[in-house]
Structure 1
Amino acid sequence: MKLTLKTALLIILFLPFFLHAQSDTLTDSTINYDAQNTIILTPDFYKKRYVESDLMYKITDNKGNGFDSLYGTRNMRPILHGVAYRGGANNYYHLTDKRNNHNPLPNDGMDNLCAEGFSAGVYLYQQNFETAPLADTCNCIDKDTNTFQYYQKDYFDDKHVRDMVEMVYQSATNDSVGPVYLHCWNGWHASGFISAVILKQFCGYSNFDAVNYWDLGTDGANTSPRYQTQRERIKAFQPYPEFTVSDSLKNCLCPPMPDNIDSTALHIEIEHLIVVPEAIPVGYQVVLYNVKFGPGKTSFSNIATNKDMKNLLMALDADPNLKIEIGGYTDNSGNAANNVALSTQRAKFVYDYLIKNGYSTERITYKGYGPINPIYSNRYKSTREGNRRIEVKILSKTQHSSSKLVDEKPVIEVIKETPETAYLSYFLKQQKATESMGQPKQSNFIIDSLQFASGSALLPESGIAIDYINELLLILKKNPVLKIKINGYTDASGIAEKNVLLSNERAKAVYDYMIAGGLNANRIHYAGHGSADPIAPNAYKWGRDINRRIEVELVND
């Protein structure tokens, strides 16, 4: 029987308990009992019992050791305190029941999870599941009888993913439902996928944070090209509105990421240069995974709409100190000298596009490297094509600490993770497509990529955001009945009164720019709202980045 922290709050206030670390022997001095002398299995109880410090903390290690009462699990980590856990099945390293690694939980793993109060386990593969019992009944540590259900779910099946999210939701919101253990063989890839999904659903993780979490949880086993599919599936997952939990419950359940993260353990994409430039050191080479060349080809289509190219432009706008080298590569087919020439042409194709877009030749160079340093095997066609690539080498940049995943100090107004339709660029694109001022389905649009220095309301002189504001000015001049309001917002950091003032000054900066651009003052107003109306959680840096924004509100007479 498990109580949520919310339900047990009054009991906890009057019956505080202290729990020791890494021990499977409970004493009366370390357990909280209710009036019937029953242990209260709250999220806080499990958090203290397993000494859960962060999402990467292992309760049991790679060989299944570390917590005797959970023997049979492997690489076990918390996902949500007292609600959901991930890991593997300890088969290959089992001291008394060794068997092939490709198996479900050993019997003692099920027994121990049952005794710890877990309500269910989920095996994320199919192999050998028919050999496993589907349930276990045991005496639980709360001195009650517990039933542990064992399921097989396919993490590639969207319906099964929903089933697992619902199981976790029931554990989080139902007092009588114990934690869920979601596991694969090693506790790395499949369990990492469903964990990333759970963190998006219940903790508000962005695509970026969820993918980083997945990579960190693989213990370095993340270099195969097939894992890119996992990352894309994590990004594609959309949280279910019917399984939403309150912010107060999120605060109780969601463990933090580690304070210090080795950036070399991450799968780095060009988007990282926008969101967490501090995590990418000088000299690092970032692969443009969405840039693909056909065999023998020196160009690719739709360069202006290519996701990686758009992010590269944003990165160059975000950091005026960023200097890069465009590196071209080939697979190992054909003559080596010809491959170097081919790779040089590929690099120059990207280089020419950047220069055409107004970036200085002092910031960008290019070079062809031919087939050296393949990132995938050249043996197979399916992987060889990944070696026909572009890499962006960081030559210099604004310096940040690279020991932390996120630098909390700088205020960089990079807007990410909200739907495309929420941006001013979407509205402008729709107006171009229709050639007329149609009535949009929504009236508020975020100005893309608008950046302010920390604590400053000085509008940048150039960049993508300024281009969009200028486009909006042209539309307004063609549609004299349309009025707008500029709304400024901040995150929840700092003093509320100062946030209102700062947001007002930033909104006024956009207002002044548009007045100077010829817009009549009776058609535009502005206001600062401080940290009101957040559109993302302020508990995370990515959410604070989104909340620091300028919105354009369209008003018709």
Structure 2
Amino acid sequence: MKIKFVLMQKLLLSIGCLLIVGLSWGQKDTIQIGLDAFVIADEGENVNVDSLLAIEPKIIRDYKWYKERYHETDLMYKVTDNKGNGFDSLYGTRNMRPILHGVAYRGGSNNYYHKTDKRNNHNAIPQDGMHNLCQEGFSAGVYLYRQNFDISPLGDTCNCVDEAWNKFDYYQYDYFDSTHVYKMLELTYKAAVNQETGPVYLHCWNGWHASGFISGVILKQFCGFSNWDAVNYWDLGTDGANTSPRYQTQRERIKKFQPYPEFNISDSLKGCMCPPMPEYIDSSQLHVEIEHLVIVPEAIPVGFDVVLYNVKFGPGKTTFGNISGNKDIVNLKKALDQDPNLVIEIGGYTDNSGSHAKNVDISNRRAKFVYDHMIASGYPEERMTYKGYGPAKPIFSNRYKSTREGNRRIEIKVVNKTVHGGDKLVDEDIHNDANVVNEEQLKKSYLTYFFEHEKEGGMGSVYIVDSLMFASSSAVIPETGYGVIVLQNLIKYLNEHKLTKIQINGYTDSSGIKENNDTLSMKRAEAVFTYLSSNGIAESRMTHSGWGSTNPIAPNRYKWGRDINRRIEIEFVGD
């Protein structure tokens, strides 16, 4: 019997043939055993396909081969980008990053952005993605969600880029199930210690959250990451999509994971496989808790506000139970005990329900409740103050009940502390960036201020359309509100100054993906351009541009800052 493998491009993967035990063909017959792999048998010969496929694949490529092939540098390096581009032989993946060189990779499934076979984002990896991973020598893929896995093939067979035979297995494991986490670690361990076992691709939909969780666990298991190293890695890997309070659960699960001794590897192997963190980190993406002030106090600068995420108030409530046993209060006391120079302000906050005056009173009483407990616990008054800020500076959306509760909070401002040496987790320069203005500067940055003080002279040329708040991911100008009134005042001003021309600049916050932000900021600028044009301002007097998330004027790590950064600036060109 003569058997040969033929590569042909097909769109459908036949799985049923993997179950065939014995087949007989007349003349020359063909059976498909992969997306583009076929067996051709001579006339009248029996072929035991199961026995053929049971042959162990011979894929011998070490970590160095993959590291060089994908040009891997660090843990945040993307082999494929958010739209699945960057490495044609891995098309079908998204946001693919190394976890362990040549052993484990994370990412998403490229369905929504797929050029030829678009489908809903909530799907397993597309067939060309599975086949490309197979051809790249990957031994397995893991889909971390359940949705639509039932319509996905369970694997693929192929000739690899070097013509070696490979079989790719596809699994569905739940990232939140400890038993499944163990199985994923086992797959990773086998790929790490067996040179003939190809890498594993662990993926969710976008390559941000679920894949980031299992990656953080893998880095704790195989690379010795600390709890906070792993949590910071998770936050950085979300590409900024880490602001929802529900993600706190994932951070806690990463911290609670304890490595399994049966999956220990040698230090030399760690040195080969474990990529470094990026040399330069956007620390505004990191998630900071009060425990950082205990474990890495050198990382928290003076003036930084730390949210007590485990302190929760009910609607309208100013106290909560078991304050002495609350995890964040315990850590606050530890931080004060460790650093005799630590001075704090206890800030109370509310959501935006009810009147402003009432909210300020409630927030003040919340702050005082914590303050009174700290004083009763023996901490001196000169080391702490308290203040209520009402609904100011929300860190989560007030639109939904599930997120409003996160705004009913306590924040600890670091007023003074011992100056520590060493690297900073939070880059002070980022939070004191020249582009990030203080509240007094912000007041003078709005168009209303310009209209009120224009005749005084010495005014600038660029001003923000105040209160023109775009909803997240939206370019729709509100029909009513103070922002619309300001636009009407701008129209009045331009009608009075016929020679004045303007440049309309649109901006977004830093949430989401750069290319989406660039497009969205342009659409916002265009919306204002169209609004002014429809109200009689000649188009020849206006230009418009989108600048994405560049030049933030408020910190993107807070919701109130992101609200401000989603803005329109008017630049007066000449008169």
TM-score when normalising by structure 1: 0.63
User: Which moves more between the two structures, 294-303 or 175-184?
Assistant: 294-303
Q: How far, CA to CA, are the matches of 1:85 and 1:244 in structure 2?
A: 19
Identity %: 75
Cα deviation 1:106-148 (Å, max 9, x = unaligned): 2221121111110001111122223322111111234310111
8 Å Cα contact 2:104/2:202 also seen in 1: yes
Q: CA deviation at 1:271?
A: 1.1
Q: CA deviation at 1:328?
A: 0.5
Which residue of the partner structure matches residue 62 of structure 1?
82
Which residue of the partner structure matches residue 456 of structure 2?
none
Q: How far, CA to CA, are the matches of 2:301 and 2:136 in structure 1?
A: 44
Which residue of the partner structure matches residue 367 of structure 1?
387
Q: How far, CA to CA, are the matches of 2:177 and 2:378 in structure 1?
A: 45
Go from structure 1 to structure 2 and tell me whether the alpha carbon gap of 1:222 and 1:48 turns closer, same or farther (over 3 Å shift). Answer: same
Q: How far, CA to CA, are the matches of 1:378 and 1:248 in structure 2?
A: 50
Which residue of the partner structure matches residue 236 of structure 1?
256
| SS at structure 1 position matched to 2:245 | coil
Which residue of the partner structure matches residue 409 of structure 2?
389
Q: Which amino acid aligns with 1:207?
A: N
8 Å Cα contact 1:261/1:403 also seen in 2: no
Which residue of the partner structure matches residue 375 of structure 2?
355
Go from structure 1 to structure 2 and tell me whether the alpha carbon gap of 1:274 and 1:287 turns closer, same or farther (over 3 Å shift). Answer: same
Q: How far, CA to CA, are the matches of 1:119 and 1:159 in structure 2?
A: 21
Q: How far, CA to CA, are the matches of 2:384 and 2:378 in structure 1?
A: 11
8 Å Cα contact 1:39/1:141 also seen in 2: no
Cα deviation 1:41-100 (Å, max 9, x = unaligned): 111221222222111111111111111221111111111111100001112222222222
Q: Which amino acid aligns with 2:322?
A: N
Q: CA deviation at 1:358?
A: 4.3
| SS at structure 2 position matched to 1:87 | strand
Alignment of 1:72-91 (within 5 A): 72-91=92-111
Structure 2 gaps, min length 5 = 1-57, 428-575
| SS at structure 2 position matched to 1:313 | helix
Q: Which amino acid aligns with 2:261?
A: P
Which residue of the partner structure matches residue 209 of structure 1?
229
1:119 aligns with 2:139: yes
Which residue of the partner structure matches residue 165 of structure 1?
185
1:307 aligns with 2:331: no
Which residue of the partner structure matches residue 205 of structure 2?
185
Q: CA RMSD in A?
A: 2.3
Q: How far, CA to CA, are the matches of 1:381 and 1:256 in structure 2?
A: 40
Which residue of the partner structure matches residue 545 of structure 1?
none
Alignment of 1:106-505 (within 5 A): 106-399=126-419, 404-405=424-425
Q: CA deviation at 1:101?
A: 1.6
Q: How far, CA to CA, are the matches of 1:247 and 1:403 in structure 2?
A: 25
| SS at structure 2 position matched to 1:170 | helix
8 Å Cα contact 1:279/1:401 also seen in 2: no
User: Which moves more between the two structures, 281-290 or 182-191?
Assistant: 281-290
8 Å Cα contact 2:300/2:424 also seen in 1: no
> Which of the pair has more CA radius of gyration?
2
Q: How far, CA to CA, are the matches of 2:207 and 2:66 in structure 1?
A: 20
| SS at structure 2 position matched to 1:362 | helix
8 Å Cα contact 1:104/1:129 also seen in 2: yes
Q: Which amino acid aligns with 1:117?
A: G
Q: How far, CA to CA, are the matches of 2:159 and 2:262 in structure 1?
A: 34
Q: CA deviation at 1:263?
A: 1.5
1:102 aligns with 2:97: no
Which residue of the partner structure matches residue 484 of structure 2?
none
Which residue of the partner structure matches residue 494 of structure 1?
none
Which residue of the partner structure matches residue 462 of structure 2?
none
8 Å Cα contact 2:99/2:275 also seen in 1: yes
Q: How far, CA to CA, are the matches of 2:60 and 2:177 in structure 1?
A: 35
Q: CA deviation at 1:102?
A: 1.6
Q: How far, CA to CA, are the matches of 1:395 and 1:229 in structure 2?
A: 29
The alignment of Structure 1 onto Structure 2 pairs a total of residues equal to 370
Q: How far, CA to CA, are the matches of 1:40 and 1:155 in structure 2?
A: 29
| SS at structure 1 position matched to 2:66 | helix
8 Å Cα contact 1:78/1:84 also seen in 2: yes
| SS at structure 2 position matched to 1:166 | helix
Q: How far, CA to CA, are the matches of 2:378 and 2:290 in structure 1?
A: 20
Q: Which amino acid aligns with 1:245?
A: I
8 Å Cα contact 2:344/2:415 also seen in 1: yes
8 Å Cα contact 2:60/2:197 also seen in 1: no
Q: How far, CA to CA, are the matches of 2:71 and 2:186 in structure 1?
A: 26
Q: CA deviation at 1:400?
A: 6.0
Which residue of the partner structure matches residue 561 of structure 2?
none
Q: How far, CA to CA, are the matches of 1:200 and 1:160 in structure 2?
A: 17
8 Å Cα contact 2:300/2:426 also seen in 1: no
Q: Which amino acid aligns with 1:70?
A: L
8 Å Cα contact 2:157/2:166 also seen in 1: yes
Q: Which amino acid aligns with 2:96?
A: M
8 Å Cα contact 1:39/1:143 also seen in 2: no
Cα deviation 1:277-307 (Å, max 9, x = unaligned): 3443333221101112233332223222221
Q: How far, CA to CA, are the matches of 2:192 and 2:356 in structure 1?
A: 58
Q: Which amino acid aligns with 1:220?
A: G
Q: How far, CA to CA, are the matches of 1:279 and 1:53 in structure 2?
A: 25
Q: CA deviation at 1:39?
A: 8.2
Go from structure 1 to structure 2 and tell me whether the alpha carbon gap of 1:87 and 1:293 turns closer, same or farther (over 3 Å shift). Answer: same
Q: How far, CA to CA, are the matches of 2:59 and 2:368 in structure 1?
A: 67
Which residue of the partner structure matches residue 454 of structure 2?
none
Q: How far, CA to CA, are the matches of 1:232 and 1:390 in structure 2?
A: 19
Q: How far, CA to CA, are the matches of 1:352 and 1:85 in structure 2?
A: 50
Q: How far, CA to CA, are the matches of 1:366 and 1:386 in structure 2?
A: 19
| SS at structure 1 position matched to 2:330 | helix
| SS at structure 2 position matched to 1:325 | strand
| SS at structure 1 position matched to 2:145 | coil
Go from structure 1 to structure 2 and tell me whether the alpha carbon gap of 1:129 and 1:402 turns closer, same or farther (over 3 Å shift). Answer: farther
1:46 aligns with 2:55: no
8 Å Cα contact 1:40/1:142 also seen in 2: no
Q: CA deviation at 1:378?
A: 3.3
Go from structure 1 to structure 2 and tell me whether the alpha carbon gap of 1:357 and 1:109 turns closer, same or farther (over 3 Å shift). Answer: same
Q: Which amino acid aligns with 1:89?
A: S
Q: Which amino acid aligns with 2:172?
A: Q
Go from structure 1 to structure 2 and tell me whether the alpha carbon gap of 1:175 and 1:107 turns closer, same or farther (over 3 Å shift). Answer: same
Q: Which amino acid aligns with 2:100?
A: L
| SS at structure 2 position matched to 1:163 | helix
TM-score when normalising by structure 2: 0.61
| SS at structure 2 position matched to 1:226 | helix
